[in-house]
Structure 1
């Protein structure tokens, strides 16, 4: 069957019915020619609209502890093997975290994603995280997502008691490709953390990084693993080949490839929140808004060690395409989305990477 005759709407029908695409169908999405991309996106949007309507959910990312990580992940500028020029600092003081929470609220984010570098938090740092979560929740109507590395169920329950709604721990890639990405932990280590979050009755957030040299089967297998784990929120990152990291020389992505990946993930993960995360501005470029047809969420502001576009540009992009912002309780935002949003704000230390 040729691209032009392939029935992408039939894939949407099957996805909406809860069926899993066959591997051949999944490969067809990833390998389709550019001239059917709009047909794919239209089918993926039908699936997205069934759960999320035309709403876009905003998340704000806070790098609360940077660098100083003992892991050897090849993509990461914070890893022990990276020579990337990034800021390195221990756990931020609570007043700095509150400043970030204030900014997240001003930018209309529904969720503050608090991230610390490292394999797993020590008790002193973990206690500071808990105190910060309580302070943010007392002041703001923000949901909190914590990304703290490898965790056990007891730690997850303590986060839940403090007011954390979601715990993030990305699988990053397929089980098969993980040894090519990292040697200091296993795919199973990451799965165990996601399962601990689920066992504690908390919302699971887990996704991956695409464009690291993985095969199409790895792209598919990652999505199937996330589906099997019943992950509720799926950040889809596109590799930024930061100078000084092991993967600095990998440049595999273009906007159409990214959009095909997002469409596939919507077909395989029909009701999940799919968030276009790191690499959105770098790889989707002028086609960023088209990613919102399969995906329903983005980060507003900067990422961990790389900068994003301004919040006003994000909001203008959303409004121009006829989408609406979502409030923390899941309702469409009523009123002027630009009200209170600053024209500019402090930027991340690294410039966007040329690809």
Structure 2
């Protein structure tokens, strides 16, 4: 196996999307309806993906720093109030615990460390604790940090910006018209307001969707263009996982092709934004995971909030097999010797496939 030289990133970290959409609302709907051949729209998406992100794939690792104890009723979430989903509940981790999780994430090759906490939003004390932790991770590890902590006002956004936070996650999840179907304890407008406060503070926004919660194709188009209007620079596209205790009234089946078309639509509406294949990729995209990287340039490794997923090694193999390059936190441009990293696990051999032969002579 040859040593691969990972070239420096083709795009700088931006706070806001700057490039106009490549398709109209009607064009996005046609893609989702299947009226445009898959290979045709995927080729268009890949050309945009290659222009702004080259062959790199950014690997993100989530750290759930507080689980459960949530007063919100988001129907898709295993941590929502009264869910009785059986997930382990624990309070906010200590600053040292979070830092050590960041150390491990960097050792596993994460481009960005994503901290997620349940709840409506942090109070002043929690905001200051998170700020201290972010500052330490930034200074001592040189690792980019994304935080997802719910609703924020302008003052808290400014505190996090001062600490060095470069990305904040706050998903719109679905369209404005469909939002009351999945949550009643806060509004779509409150989410948009939080995004605006953080953007004004100079923090790049990560905001995406969950597909498969009973929304119409028009709902998907609406939220794709709402995200574009907010100039979101990082977009996680989740595919609904029916966790125990969920309260989504009309979940719908998703085919791998449809999931791929959703990713294509997001790329063509947001050509210079990071499009991330998020929760549900293993179960919904299935054999099309590799093909999805021709539209998306980012994914999660080592699982999601409360659901298992592909580990870091499996994710690296997926990226390499598709002809792309994993983008690590430690040294863009560094030579990566995949043979030493992956070892013999990457080889097609009798050692790795003990039942290699369908028929064997009887002893």
| TM-score (normalizing by structure 1) | 0.87
Distance, in Å, in 1 between the alignment partners of 2:340 and 2:202 is 36
- Which residue of structure 1 aligns with residue 231 of structure 2? 230
8 A Cα contact 2:112 2:329, kept in partner: yes
1:61-76 correspondence to structure 2 within 5 Å? 61-76=62-77
- Which residue of structure 1 aligns with residue 14 of structure 2? none
What's the CA shift for 1:125?
Answer: 2.3
Over 3 Å counting, the alpha-carbon distance change for 1:215 and 1:332 in structure 2 is: farther
What's the CA shift for 1:19?
Answer: 4.6
- Which residue of structure 1 aligns with residue 271 of structure 2? 270
1:1-355 correspondence to structure 2 within 5 Å? 18-19=20-21, 21-32=23-34, 36-247=37-248, 250-328=251-329, 331=332, 334-336=335-337
Over 3 Å counting, the alpha-carbon distance change for 1:17 and 1:127 in structure 2 is: closer
Over 3 Å counting, the alpha-carbon distance change for 1:95 and 1:248 in structure 2 is: farther
Q: Deviations over 1:151-188 (max 9, x none)?
A: 01111111111121111111111111111110011111
8 A Cα contact 1:326 1:333, kept in partner: no
Across the two proteins, how many residue pairs are aligned to each other?
328
8 A Cα contact 2:228 2:270, kept in partner: yes
8 A Cα contact 1:62 1:304, kept in partner: yes
| TM-score (normalizing by structure 2) | 0.85
Over 3 Å counting, the alpha-carbon distance change for 1:277 and 1:338 in structure 2 is: farther
Partner SS, residue 128 of structure 1: helix
> Which segments of 5 or more consecutive residues in structure 1 lack a partner in the other structure?
1-15, 344-355
Partner SS, residue 41 of structure 2: helix
Over 3 Å counting, the alpha-carbon distance change for 1:342 and 1:336 in structure 2 is: closer
Over 3 Å counting, the alpha-carbon distance change for 1:108 and 1:23 in structure 2 is: same
Partner SS, residue 256 of structure 1: helix
8 A Cα contact 1:73 1:182, kept in partner: yes
> Which segments of 5 or more consecutive residues in structure 2 lack a partner in the other structure?
1-17, 345-363
Partner SS, residue 134 of structure 1: helix
What's the CA shift for 1:293?
Answer: 0.7
Distance, in Å, in 1 between the alignment partners of 2:118 and 2:337 is 36
Of 297-306 and 119-128, the range deviating more from structure 2: 119-128
Q: Deviations over 1:289-333 (max 9, x none)?
A: 111111000011121100111111100111111101224499455
Over 3 Å counting, the alpha-carbon distance change for 1:95 and 1:341 in structure 2 is: farther
Distance, in Å, in 1 between the alignment partners of 2:342 and 2:78 is 30
Q: CA RMSD in A?
A: 2.3
Distance, in Å, in 2 between the alignment partners of 1:339 and 1:68 is 43
Partner SS, residue 184 of structure 1: coil
Distance, in Å, in 2 between the alignment partners of 1:341 and 1:124 is 43
- Which residue of structure 2 aligns with residue 5 of structure 1? none
Distance, in Å, in 1 between the alignment partners of 2:102 and 2:342 is 14
Distance, in Å, in 2 between the alignment partners of 1:318 and 1:188 is 37
Distance, in Å, in 2 between the alignment partners of 1:203 and 1:128 is 21
Distance, in Å, in 2 between the alignment partners of 1:338 and 1:70 is 48
What's the CA shift for 1:249?
Answer: 6.7
Distance, in Å, in 2 between the alignment partners of 1:152 and 1:339 is 47
